[in-house]
Amino acid sequence: MDRALGSYGRRHMHAIFVTAEITPYSGAGPAAEVCGALPKGLRSLDHAVTVVSPLYRSIDPDAHSLARRLSKVEVEVGGETQACEIYTGRTVSGVELIFLGHETLFHGTDDFELGDDETVARRAAVFARAAAKVVSDLEDVDLVHAHDWVGGAFLAALGETALPTVLTLHRGAEQRRFGGAVGELFGDAAADVDGAKAPLVAGLKRAQRVTVSSPRAADALRGTLADVMDPEALVGIPAGIDASIWNPLTDPHLPHRFDPVDLGGKAKCKAELQRDLELPVEAEVPMVALEERSNGAGLELFVKIASQILRNQVQLVFVAADSPEPLVERLDELDERWPDQAALLTEADEELRHQLVAAADLVLVAPETAPSGGPEMRAHRYGAVPIVHHVDALADSVVDCDAKLDTGTGFAFGAFDADEMLAAVRRALGAYRQPEAFEALQRRVMRVDHSWDRSARLYEGLYRELLESDG
């Protein structure tokens, strides 16, 4: 393989992605979205990409034209031999797919982290080792790009390799640790941290570059991770959204289409959702959606101020698909107390996620930390002005609006505080009462470029840097 300095400026690369989830086949989190969109962006630059991921229960091989290989890949985990089936396919954009199937560990679930610690650890160890074997057998591979703590386990299982390695953290330094006999399932494919096995730490130590989807998040993480990796190896590369999936002009999930030139379809989407949620159909009342990734601490803050918000002329839609039960109960109380102004959704499938952002006038995105973006970009794309906690990836992609709405792409609050959140929501509601200025703001945010083109080129540059230094 030619790795002379500068050779990769003249030839295409082949990158291998290893991930626990990939849109649209599995998952709905940031890792799934990135692993679905970034390979497509790299393909548009004429690079080859192969994605390796588990074959979950919801993935129908026939529906996705996946071919099953006759041979299986066998690995040993916990003293037992585990055999994984291999399915291959290709996306319409030309990304090669390799799915690893296992009758009990993968086929029985749609969520990699569902189950007790032993189940999750065994699932991760089997996938990591099977993926390492598959990748080692591939030809003409230039670089390996792993994702999150499962990707860390894979890099450790891959062991010493001449291939450049990249690890992307979609959830910051968040990781799984496994103690006792459960941790021993990983063998050497995990680092020892405080008496437990930490697959992510093993990956951080082996990766030549570690990336997060936010330059600000990278700055914050350098100090946190300095004891396990070279801080200079941590890079912030902004993510994007897949414009072919998130496009209000072509979105098959919407009852009506629209674009920045003609917002009429957005008003119709709002009316349709109001009817579906049994809310009064009132165009002049602002609809605020609480984005589902605000669960946890962000949702706790919101619950503290929800009653004060509802004293205004407003409709609130809560998405609490994976929220703690006590918080869901409090949201349900708000729903019952304010039936004409509040609607609680405890489940939200892909269709409803699209319809909600298309109908909403404002979207509240308020996690305590945001190592990766996405919700605010989708809100921009659909003319739903975001209200965000000004941190990490959210601060990278949302500019706070001025009082006249002449500049800015959203409403931001700095301190992670209920009063600060309430002030930002009130500013946003006040802006909605300026119809002409608010509509101009909607059109402006819809034109913000959140495509993967720039991000794909930045990753291309990172890959070339590693390949040339490896030469």
pLDDT for residue 4 is more than 60: no
Residue 127: band (very low, low, confident or very high) from pLDDT cuts 50, 70, 90 = very high
pLDDT for residue 314 is more than 70: yes
Q: What is the pLDDT of residue 64?
A: 95
Regarding predicted confidence, which is higher, 328 or 304? 304
Q: What is the pLDDT of residue 293?
A: 56
pLDDT in tens, 176-210: 888 888 888 887 666 677 777 888 998 999 999 99
Q: What is the pLDDT of residue 470?
A: 65
pLDDT for residue 2 is more than 60: no
pLDDT in tens, 417-446: 999 999 999 999 999 999 999 999 999 999
Reference 279, options 351, 356, 346, 350; nearest CA is 356
Which residues are registered as beta bridge partners of 88?
Answer: 67, 98
pLDDT in tens, 338-390: 999 999 887 778 899 999 999 999 999 988 888 888 899 999 999 999 999 99
Q: What is the pLDDT of residue 191?
A: 67
Average confidence (pLDDT) over 256-282: 96
pLDDT for residue 1 is more than 70: no
Regarding predicted confidence, which is higher, 200 or 175? 200
Q: What is the pLDDT of residue 102?
A: 96
Q: Which of 171-180, 245-254, 426-435 has the lowest mean pLDDT?
A: 171-180
Q: What is the pLDDT of residue 8?
A: 41
Q: What is the pLDDT of residue 283?
A: 94
What mean pLDDT value characterizes the chain? Answer: 90
Q: Three-state SS string across the chain, please?
A: CCCCCCHHHCCCCEEEEECCCCCCCCCCCHHHHHHHHHHHHHHHCCCEEEEEEECCCCCCCCCCCCEECCCCEEEEECCEEEEEEEEEEECCCCCEEEEEECCCCCCCCCCCCCCCHHHHHHHHHHHHHHHHHHHHHCCCCCEEEEEHHHHHHHHHHHCCCCCCEEEECCCCCCCCCEEHHHHHHHCCCCEEECCEEEHHHHHHHHCCEEEECCHHHHHHHHHHCCCCCCHHHEEECCCCCCCCCCCCCCCCCCCCCCCCCCCHHHHHHHHHHHHHCCCCCCCCCCEEEECHHHCCHHHHHHHHHHHHHHCCCCEEEEECCCCCHHHHHHHHHHHHHCCCCEEEECCCCHHHHHHHHHHCCEEEECCCCCCCCCHHHHHHHCCCEEEEECCHHHHHHCCECCCCCCCCCEEEECCCCHHHHHHHHHHHHHHHCCHHHHHHHHHHHHCCCCCCHHHHHHHHHHHHHHHHHHC
pLDDT in tens, 444-456: 999 999 988 889 9
Residue 228: band (very low, low, confident or very high) from pLDDT cuts 50, 70, 90 = confident
Q: Domains of the chain by range and CATH?
A: 7-240+452-470 (3.40.50.2000), 264-446 (3.40.50.2000)
Q: What is the pLDDT of residue 11?
A: 57
Q: What is the pLDDT of residue 328?
A: 81
pLDDT for residue 302 is more than 60: yes
pLDDT for residue 94 is more than 90: yes
Q: What is the pLDDT of residue 263?
A: 96
Tokens 């996946």 correspond to what residue? Answer: 66
Average confidence (pLDDT) over 101-124: 92
246 in Cβ contact with 347 (< 8 Å): no
Say what percent of the chain tops pLDDT 70: 95
pLDDT for residue 295 is more than 70: no
